[in-house]
Chains A and B, each alone.
Chain A
């Protein structure tokens, strides 16, 4: 292995984007109900779902009643979930924002299914549904491969099955996992992501069966929601420490809905502790912050922003790179912050990177 020290892993293409182009890095396409997947399921699973109480994966990370789940105006008639209608997404996101690309992130909770055969069958169905009903219908769309992350070998098989489709640009990894993603248990997953030149998309939520906080089960959804930033930090520490980027020097990872302002201080701590403890992991040859800046990107919705623009600008500068942030609306989820606020406090050239150039480099959009 050669040193990775002087190669920027996610090189921004010089021709990429322009000042006005906008790419949305996190738009949710929601499976409306299990029946929508029937055309993509085998006779066995159609009959099983029809005749039993099994109704597929629940949306545990985004409770329907929660005001964070559906923003005003995104609601659909007949209790269909927001984000499940392409025509509405076209009208309210793609066209309204004048997007050149939108990266869809389907968060169908395959990871909550304990029956491995059901998990595999439903993941395949969701991906075929995405190809037929989303990617084939609008060339501005890119999508996320949904995989059973709890079964890394099966996940790898599914990535190899559909990863070559030009519409898929990343693999969805719910940030809540039963074991951190850097663990060697997940080696087949990263090998498949790397083999297919896809992005590892670590996303808010997940239902692995383990508590959503490292200290056990909280009582309220608010606790889980706020605490998710800690879980993202756990995954970043794991990926760097357990050498995933040393094994896969070209690997790209994006954190979706992670928040961004924690990153700077987090890297200070990570670098500091690495100096103390690096003998445990000699393959971590550079400061963790260098790995993160080379390999990891973050979408800017939500942004946990201080009230002062000056402080927000400082928090963004503390991240230490203008190549790490990627614009996202997180449609149809609702946050009290607006991504436009980030764009308004950074320099014009940085804003242009956030709006499109960083996304083009991350997902190799062309």
Chain B
């Protein structure tokens, strides 16, 4: 899709083939599929790592008696989907997690749900499977019923082999899965000596809802609704990614007005969430004044959403083929007024925060994520951008409407909580400019393109910059306009492991603010 695409891509392909890895190359409109043999899976990862490719997503699907295992890589805005086909009888392949730490949990997820075994995986413990289904049954296989085998009471998740630490004065702090605040469930296991964190281990999966399973057999409209509920705060991002994937599979393109409206929705979602996060970061260091103001600003913003789009969180505004909402002339005035007011308020609020030394003392240097670690884990969104990873799909692989606007990627390089805070602020400013440009480009026109029923087996890959970062959404159609496979890769899946690294050498009471500065979605991770 980009001009650089063919440069490194074809050259890399030649080299991989020359090294003895047979590749079947299938070119798609926005990404390439490279099919390789299963036993080359790990070796390819080594080449890809050497080439500087970023591991971005991993998923599997079952087709008849075969499993297709996929891994998505990116470099300079070009995406490759690596694919290996496995027979049901011998469903195993060498792990890529040895090369790419980001692939670790994703491969465990694939194993728990499909029974595809990744040999020499560095951490073969179960991940998404708690106790809701037995060890050797795999929910995403076609023979597993969508209703599962529910028990009256799910047994407690006991005996998970957490990493242990010994020594004088070393103690363990189990936190969660139920927390005191109104947040999602997740368990954190700390090993600490005094107040210093020696190790943190995350145990997620408490909000596994079986989204991938219940997506099967849905109509496109129904899938868009489901995608909008992968993670409630990213409803626009996920719905857009799923719709983009489905539109690719159906080979339709949306009208320009619909694209602009989607852009407006996405940027409004970004601003609302960043405002909430900035307040929450301040609240976690007991600077409640700022939290109250950010919450107020976010609330005003959401009320405008309700007024214009009939939904505070913008749910179900994006539908396959376009959008279900429109923006009238009067609404444009509301949006412009919103932006004007937010700018004015931030101009007053931000200096007060910037000049507050007690806040500075808490946010600077705490929760440091170094550039090499951020790169190794492929950290996305504001987490990556605060640690020098400036990748942004809106600039590096722009999709409509971002291909026709001027846009500067917010970046910081200190890698601490303050950087993640200021990246969010810069993104709000950039998003407001984007909103203004989108409003300017709005012209009367259609809101949807008529849907075309995709051929059986048609696939699509939605790649969208959500407010947390890159969202990847894979969709494959069955016959009769139904979904065969849906896999949404929320940026949280990539960013959660970075939290385990960035809290090291911090003190226990600083963990909440470190966590809030990353703000991963539990629901988006657990699916």
Question: Do chains A and B interact in one complex?
Answer: no
Interface of A toward B, CB cutoff 8 Å: none
